[in-house]
Amino acid sequence: MQQTTKLFLGALKYSIPHLGKCMPKQNYCNVADPYYNRLRLKNYRLTKCLQNKPKISELARNIPSRSFSLKERTDSPQYERNKYMIILKENMDAFEKVRTRLETQPQEEYEIVNAEIKHGGFVYYQEGCCLVRSKDEEADSDNYEVLFNLEELKLEQPFIDCIRVAPDEKYVAAKIRAEDSETSTCIVVKLSDQPAMEASFPNVSSFEWVKDEEDEDVLFYTFQRNLRCHDVYRATFGDNKRNERFYTEKDPSYFVFLYLTKDSRFLTLNIMNKTTSEVWLIDGLSPWDPPMLIQKRIHGMLYYVEHRDDELYILTNVGEPTEFKLMRTAADAPAIMNWDLFFTMKRNTKVVDLDMFKDHCVLFLKHSNLLYVNVIGLADDSVRSLKLPPWACGFIMDTNSDPKNCPFQLCSPIRPPKYYTYKFAEGKLFEETGHEDPITKTSRVLRIEAKSKDGKLVPMTVFHKTDSEDLQRKPLLVHVYGAYGMDLKMNFRPERRVLVDDGWILAYCHVRGGGELGLQWHADGRLTKKLNGLADLEACIKTLHSQGFSQPSLTTLSAFSAGGVLVGALCNSKPELLRAVTLEAPFLDVLNTMMDTTLPLTLEELEEWGNPSSDEKHKNYIKRYCPCQNMKPQHYPSVHITAYENDERVPLKGIVNYTEKLKEAVAEHSKGAGEGYQPPNIVLDIQPGGNHVIEDSHKKITTQMKFLYDELGLDSTDAFEALKKYLKV
């Protein structure tokens, strides 16, 4: 889920366990991910972390995901390497592509970018292996000042994940990590005629600057160990250097995250798990004073806080219905009994994000699978609701300090982001002009629904070429996630564009357990309702076939992280619906993982999967759908799994165990299948590295695409020629 007031659902999405098991960190299309903002139009200076402050959705994104120790890794020569690998270039990995351009049309170019922030008259960003700054008007030139060489940290392919500048620009802090690792180091550089590193802090998650009564810069930061973040520190530099622990969370099921309100008036200390939150206010003018509690945590109650003109604006699910609503109260009377209802959402509405301005509050919404922006006038409580173009599937939030305008981008899986700006004075939404992507004329986007087993209507988003004939004979690629209340990622991916251009149908199934229709949609697909998500997925695929979209022999299914649970379960229960499956870092061994309470984040996962160690009902229910527990000798679809050897969120041991069991089931079925039987291909491709998902690996993209084409017996020549335009191979 990048963002400017972004404190909640983005954070939720990003770090919830198995989202990668959790979501890819999603360049957050907010809804997504870190890779939404790493793709930008070359003519624009927009980045993965282009922000003076994080967005409200960022809090949610930073809830941790499950972590696993390296001792779980099973070093075995039996690991099967992907036999379909296409070697494009040995060292073509994600970091090396940070400056690679992605072409969509000759008239427009796209490139991958890293963190960037504007402060004062300067822009701070990464250039090569250096943290640099340049004057704002020279930001697109080669005239910049080097502040720090990242190679001094001796990391493998380091990149800057986030930047924060101290209020008076005496210091700049940057969070740096390697592309194949989730461990970050925060450096503090003193800005002077000869910039120098003042301090370095390992394992930092979130961090923010404030200034105290004596104009001294104070850095607050959270310390993360094994993806668990429980400690908050504060540090000062220069002559009065100190570093002290400020807060420690005692409940291991909670995670701590810092968020600075957009007006910088308060630093909020957010303590949260998947269903409950608690917020403390740190005075941005008196950071040494004790923090003030807004509302003590109540199980099942979520709330996130912004500030404007001595009032707190609180996004919360308190009250009926238990969906998000906006409340407000005086900053000096923050207790829940003082909260006044300010704005409520329509039924089946998901709050994607919130941005606060001097005279307006802007809500970014998804209602019935379509995107909206609601602009609320704070002076007169007026509301203007804007329905956005039907092609749009996700937001990318832009940081903005201009009180007159609210900029953002819209994106979809098959077209690059497009810029929009709402101008408060005119009361109008303006879109970027210029070359119109031809995909808008050559493709169609459909919103359709499937009726699940219990009668619930499940939304789907379908893409296909406008001139496609006989869609029943076209290949179909289905995507699903369905966990943690997170939306299915629908950011732009070049390979998805290529597939549609080559005649494929893409279908995104927004099943229960995800968050597309609000908090209740998630509640109806977690714990002892997980099977709802499986029933939804089955209904979606059957509906697609019945409405003339492809057929089982041409149907493929793709998922990553926690989405692997539903895919693995469907392969066990209805394998005849599918021809081939691709999984990335999939969560497949739910029962054994949740039974092991020694794993760092098992306690944080209990709200999603249940507690099979102490609750027999939960244990028996998990057994009903857990992919590893329900394999049997039968004909399975071909399966390609990409795993990462040092993945801290999903243990490699569980993936290897699943693969071995699947091969055994296939072999057993083959014995009685008779002559001429062609068993499915089961491929486990173990990639080096410790990150949960390597977002932009050329080799990964081409390997997975070739697997799908080969399994369906299709010629991939034209598709790979087209892909070269994007990957610039």
Active site residues: 561, 647, 692
Tokens of 166: 């101290």
* Residue 235 DSSP label: E
**Cα–Cα distances in angstroms (integers) from residue 334 to residues 312, 315, 390, in the given order:** 7, 13, 39
User: Do residues 150 and 156 lie in contact, with contact meaning Cβ atoms separated by under 8 Å?
Assistant: no
Q: Among residues 93, 123, 117, 98, which one has the least CA distance to residue 40?
A: 98
Q: Among residues 171, 235, 175, which one has the least CA distance to residue 197?
A: 171
Phi, psi of 289 (to 5 degrees): -75, 155
User: Do residues 72 and 599 lie in contact, with contact meaning Cβ atoms separated by under 8 Å?
Assistant: no
- Per this entry, what is the length of the chain? 729
User: Do residues 691 and 647 lie in contact, with contact meaning Cβ atoms separated by under 8 Å?
Assistant: yes
DSSP 311-343: EEEEEE--SSS-S-EEEEEETT--SGGG-EEEE
Q: Among residues 461, 536, 547, which one has the least CA distance to residue 496?
A: 461
User: Regarding beta strands 555-560 and 476-480, do their DSSP bridges make them parallel or antiparallel, or are they unpaired?
Assistant: parallel
Q: Among residues 574, 571, 568, which one has the least CA distance to residue 591?
A: 568
Q: How far apart are the first and last CA of the chain?
A: 28
Helix axes 530-546, 616-625, angle to 10 degrees: 20
Give the residue ranges of DSSP H helices in 507-562: 519-523, 530-546
DSSP 31-42: SS-TTSTTEEET
Q: How buried is 292 (Cβ within 10 angstroms: 0-12 exposed, 13-18 middle, 19+ buried)?
A: middle
Q: How far apart are CA 468 and CA 474, in angstroms?
A: 8
User: Do residues 341 and 318 lie in contact, with contact meaning Cβ atoms separated by under 8 Å?
Assistant: no
How many whole angstroms from its chain centre is CA 215? 37
Q: How far apart are CA 583 and CA 639, in angstroms?
A: 8
